[in-house]
Structure 1
Amino acid sequence: AEAEVRDVAAKLRRYLIPSDVIHLDTGWFETDWQSDYAFSTTRFSNPRAMIADLGHLGFHISLWQYTYFTRKNKVWNELVAGSYGVRDEAGRIAPEDATLDFSNPDAVRWYQGKLKGLLDLGVGVIKADFGEGAPLTGVYASGRTGWFEHNLYPVRYNKAAWEITKSAAGDGIIWGRSAWAGSQRYPLHWGGDAENTNSAMAATLRGGLSFGLSGFTFWSHDVGGFVNRAPRELYRRWLPFGALTSHTRTHGAPPREPWEYDSAFVRGFRRAVEMKYRLMPYIYAQAKASSENGYPMLRTLFFEYPDDRTSWLIEDEYLFGSDLLVAPLFEEAAHRNVYLPPGTWIDYQIGRTYTGAAWHDIPAGPIPIVVLVRNHAVIPHVALAQHTAAIDWSDVELRVFSTDSGLATGSFALPNGELHTLELRPTPTGYALLRDPLGGKVKWRITRAPPGS
């Protein structure tokens, strides 16, 4: 309900937990799960005003919906009158589980009109849930059966939601669950309803790496698992893994808000999310480079090190962009065995250096995850902000991770700007930019890691 949404927004700001999106799942309609594309009048007194007020706090609103309908749904008569549903072999629209037919251009226009009404209220993104349940025996407006249309269904679904969001809200983005070849054009997607277990956390990473190898740049997952309330210890370890994913989503069986656990958990939660927001220039530059080249943001080790045989065997670590190696903690422990590809690697949190092409037992830092930086990498940081619109992009710290006096390189892009390569050369007192690609638009502060190097 509106009061709960406003309360969550206020507490996120009160507890100084950087955040940008509040998601309303299956209960924003008058009847839960009845996707009629209208806010409940009993739960939300003025959705437009609520969305505007949250926007002033730096929040975007995400809304759940899906494309399956029963006779009880308020839009049922529209669906039948327009012949927008998939039909059975007898030519009937299934009365208890009608599926919107995205092969029908009129159905697409009807659906996009419903979403536009919400986007015009100020909604930022639509969660395009399900989509994998296209009836195999159904007959579609295309004249084909589900044996042809089944795999195309999520592509058409993703496309319809993405295009109207791009047109009405300015940003092309969805939260999609299902996908097929071609869906990478309509980001982004998440891993679905994971269990709340260590093994599910590990399986989630394997799924994300496979998804990236299938041509998808962006990906997310339900931090802590979805099915039940996230166990505290699992949630604590899963969160930094989620933070070091292109898009971070703490979603699942409630309650999920960090203050519903304890004060120590809130502090740890805040620390992990702050890491992501300080790293936003690195994440943005890597996202831009990845999307321009068709690369995944989360990469298997062999993606960057194809000639290293051991890298082909690793499925519980990943590269976040080109320069950060991430090894989540998949069990209750303060350290783990990590394989490092060839080269020298520097611990992001602790500063210790390691030689690559070898296994190491590496302790996690204050944030419960192992993160290492490629030697001679420049990782841009910004001052902490409570939401991305408040980030000061004119003042950037260039943190040089180097164990010697070698040339250091990195990438940087201002929001909606071009991607630039940063080259820094060693000086008697540290490092200096060879050339300022922004011509004075940004104040560069250059620091060195690890300390004392």
Structure 2
Amino acid sequence: MTDDVTFLNGVVDVSGEFTRLEPTYFLADRLERFDARAARGEVRWKRYARKGRLAFNQFAVLFEESKPWEFPAEYPAEPALPFSVDFITPRTVRLRVRTRAETPPDEPSLMLVGPPPADTSWAVEQQEGRTVYRSQAAGVRITADPWHFELLDARGRLLTRTQHMKDSRNLQNSEPLPFCFLRRASDLQRRIAASFSLSPDEKLFGAGESFTRLNKRGQKIALWMQDPHGVQTSRMYKPVPFFLSSRGYGMFVHTAAPLTFDFGCSYDGLNTIYCGDETLDVFLFVGTPKEILSEYTALTGRSPVPPTWSFGLWMSRLTYKSDEEVRQVTGELRRRKIPCDVIHLDTGWFETEWRCDYRFSPTRFPRPGKLMADLKEQGFRVSVWQVPYFTPSNPLYAEAVREGYIVRAGGGQPATEDATIDFSNPRAVRWYQGLLEGVLREGVSCIKADFGEGAPLGGQYASGKSGFYEHNLYPLRYNQAVWDVTRRVTGEAILWGRSAWAGCQRFPVHWGGDAETTDCAMAATLRAGLSLGLCGFSFWSHDIGGFVKRTSEELYRELYRRWVPFGMLTSHSRCHGFPPKEPWHYGEEFTDEFRRAVEMKYRLMPYILAQAKQCSERGHPMVRPLFFEHPDDPTSWLIEDEYLFGRDLLVAPLMDEGARGRDVYLPPGPWRDYQTGKAYDGARWHAIDASAVPVVVLARDGATIRECPVAQSTVWIDWDG
């Protein structure tokens, strides 16, 4: 099954189907045959058609009840279809609504770490016309006629409820869109529109590594993985079908099919989840942001703490092209006493740049094993780039096609111009891991899992599913393949990944892709990191200074100067991209400032690792919005250009050209400037100047910020010093 797109890997947005005239629409109406003890029953769906209506020179498409025309007359006009609620924990419930009479057995899910547990602490009470379930932390209320599913907090306060046509106070019966599904005329496939109420001041966060405003209220977001070619559009490398609300609940839509979250964009008081799957399978969570994220990551997995060396500086550019160049850069880093742990080789380590054949160039990297060994003695690890696509000129292309390791079109040929590895094929995974194993045994410590956003929509996959379901799952299979072979060969588990979906947080680290070299891109990068962190990704990085080419060296130097300390105060720190990233290219003054920023990170390494351990255990992000620690402070929910680095450090990057300080909002409680020691009161705004390192950093007063002496590599840190 495929959907029409104008361009290859264009967005699949199922929401557009819900205004068409040709489908048959079924609107959730009332509950039937409900077993309150088992929390299972059926929802009766009323049949409608969309009809055009002209009124006062305006054309609208409204709902009208319709009669069945199927022949023979053996198909229900208003079907009663399965509906169930499962209680997973005192804070988590699972709602499943089906659009066909059949209830298929549960299958293992790549997105989940295992079958969800069952919690027996929920009490059930039958009331007139409704059933109420309560735990110590949450509640669910199911009304029979009209059918409503309502989520409650521990006090019984309504958090959100499904939308019925009878709830509308609009002049048009199609607004707001009721909870419904459609049956397509072209292939009889179903699409779901799960509509839930929003409150007037409600704010919504998450949906993946989204570069748009942090609060998603008023936005419409298509969850279809793409290469956005920058960080200032709604397109995403890492869409995640999860969000949380300022009202104290969250939702995870358990599917890999295309989704669109309409967060009050089309209708302000309504949150509609447009789902390309034929079953709505959604987990709902109740609690604070911390509690919600812990619940969500208990289901989908948490990020293991990456190796200690990975928290140091990664130095890269596009691209180092020879053994000699690598040795020159690493030697200069040590000579200038700039701490660094990782050198990354991007697209230039092959004989032909970008032609990924998993072999070091024999002319430019004649003895890769010796290079890796020498660098390790000097305190460096090595990361290398690769991609899961083979161009026809790649020497591996013919083998991949011949052996069936790729995603195929209907005639058996490659689904696109490139041969795309089919990670749903176990044979292909073993072959691919064999290629990586040879590289890792040369002494490489990390594989950069670049791209992965282009799994063909129209391809045929070994799993038996189409690209409609495999496209968004692709990075989950891809990341795991890289992760597993790296752990097996090196004994350490890490990757450097760009694309992601729900569950990929189990395979850190991920970075923010190809940012432009602008102030707005720097701000968008931070928003994206905060959004991704709110989807359970504990560890995250970005290309410090931006990725794409600059236009003015002077302007770039000034931007890079402000971006460096922001990059150092994220869990992982990599300088990478087209402009030379080595600081000495920008003068001695810049190099000294760069060194001070890096030294700040290495000095904070005990704090960073302690926070990393807590984040890993709880499913929390290292880079977190202020409201994550201060959910009762209304202003903290509004801040998107500051963040907390772990629990106790507040970071306010300098986002504007030429800035030497900025206005900073401090959450409740006393704070002190990490660089100067000056004290500030919380729950208010302050104008604060940056100090020796061009960033504003404040520590929660009374917090223990553990430090250590600066070392040139994490392997040489005196942890007791």
Distance 1:88 1:206 in 2: 38
**Runs of 5+ unmatched residues, structure 1:** 396-453
2:558 to 225, 233, 246: 233
The correspondence for 2:617, drawn from 292, 304, 307, is 292
Structure 1 equivalent of residue 670 of structure 2 = 344
Cα RMSD over matched residues? 0.9
Q: Is the 8 A contact 1:2 1:43 kept in 2?
A: yes
Contact 2:515–2:546 (CA under 8 A) maintained in structure 1:
yes
Residue number in structure 1 paired with 2:642: 317
User: Any conservation in 2 of the 1:325–1:372 contact (CA below 8 Å)?
Assistant: yes
Paired position in structure 2 for 1:301: 626
CA distance in structure 1 between the partners assigned to 2:491 and 2:628 by the alignment: 33
Shift of 1:241: 0.3
Aligned partner of 1:255 in structure 2 is 580
AA in 1 matched with 2:365: F
Query: In the alignment, does 2:596 pair up with 1:264?
Result: no
Residues 1:126 and 2:447 are matched in the alignment: yes
| CA deviation map 1:147-200 (0-9, x unaligned) | 000010000001000111111111111000000000000001000000000000
Identity %: 64
Task: Give the Cα separation in 2 of the matches to 1:319 and 1:98.
Answer: 42
Q: Distance in 2 between matches of 1:2 and 1:339?
A: 48
Q: 1:224 aligns with which of 545, 550, 563?
A: 545
Greater strand share, structure number: 2
CA–CA separation in structure 2 for the residues paired with 1:296 and 1:284: 13
Local SS of the residue matching 1:380: coil
Normalized per residue, which structure has more helix? 1
Question: For 2:700 and 2:401, how far apart are their aligned partners in 1?
Answer: 58
2:333 to 6, 12, 19: 12
Correspondence 1:163 to 2:484: yes
**CA offsets 1:298-324 (integer angstroms, 9 cap, x no match):** 000000000000000000000000000
Q: Is the 8 A contact 2:415 2:458 kept in 1?
A: no
| Cα deviations by residue, 1:81-109 (Å, 9 ceiling, x for unpaired) | 22101001222124731110000000000
Match of 1:384 among 704, 710, 715: 710
Match of 2:602 in 1: 277
Cα distance in 2 for partners of 1:348, 1:43 equals: 45
1:143 Cα deviation (Å)? 1.0
Quote the Cα distance in structure 1 between the aligned partners of 2:587 and 2:433.
Answer: 42
TM-score (norm 2): 0.54
Give the letter aligned to residue 225 of structure 1. G
**1:394: Cα distance to partner?**
2.3
Opposite residue 435 of structure 2, the aligned amino acid is K
Amino acid at match of 1:311: S
Deviation larger for 283-292 or 68-77: 68-77
Report the residue type matching 1:338 in the other structure.
V
Instruction: Answer whether contact 1:2 1:44 (CA < 8 A) is retained.
Output: yes
Please give the alpha-carbon distance, in whole angstroms, between the structure 2 residues aligned to 1:121 and 1:228: 32
Q: What pairs with 1:57-72 in structure 2 (closer than 5 Å)?
A: 57-72=378-393
Name 1:180's counterpart in structure 2. Answer: 501
Q: Does the residue aligned with 2:706 lie in a helix, a strand or coil? A: strand
Deviations 1:4-25 (A, max 9, x none): 0110010010010000000000
Q: Which residues of 2 match residues 143-154 of structure 1 at below 5 A? A: 143-154=464-475
What displacement does 1:70 show? 1.6
> Aligned partners of 1:293 and 1:254: how far apart in 2?
38
Distance 1:251 1:40, change over 3 A: same
Give the aligned length: 395
TM-score w.r.t. the length of structure 1 is 0.86
For 1:362, the aligned partner's letter is I
Q: Distance in 2 between matches of 1:351 and 1:203?
A: 30
Q: Distance in 2 between matches of 1:140 and 1:77?
A: 18
SS of the equivalent of 2:329 reads helix
The alignment partner of 2:539 has SS state of: coil
- Please give the alpha-carbon distance, in whole angstroms, between the structure 2 residues aligned to 1:23 and 1:8: 11
**Inter-partner Cα distance in structure 2 for 1:294 and 1:337:** 31
Residue range with higher mean Cα deviation, 221-230 or 206-215: 221-230
Q: Distance in 1 between matches of 2:579 and 2:385?
A: 16
> CA separation in 2, counterparts of 1:182 and 1:82?
29
CA distance in 1, matches of 2:344, 2:663: 36
- Counterpart of 1:374 (choices 700, 704, 709) is 700
Q: Secondary structure at the match of 1:382?
A: coil
Deviations 1:245-296 (A, max 9, x none): 0000100103111111101111001000000001000000000110111000
1:427 is aligned to none
How far apart are 1:54 and its partner, in Å? 0.6
**Residues 91-102 of structure 1 aligned to structure 2 (within 5 Å):** 91-94=412-415, 96-102=417-423
Counterpart residue identity of residue 599, structure 2:
E
Residue type matched to 2:674 in 1? Answer: Y
Residue in structure 2 matching 1:191, options 509, 512, 521: 512
Structure 2 CA distance for aligned equivalents of residues 94 and 369 of structure 1: 48
Contact 1:318-1:326 at 8 Å conserved across structures: yes
Aligned AA (2:610):
A
What letter matches 1:361 in structure 2? Answer: A
Q: Quote how far apart the aligned CAs of 1:45 are.
A: 1.2
Q: Is the 8 A contact 1:136 1:145 kept in 2?
A: yes
Partner amino acid for 1:66?
V
SS of corresponding position for 1:378: coil
Does the Cα contact within 8 Å between 1:131 and 1:154 map onto a contact in 2? yes
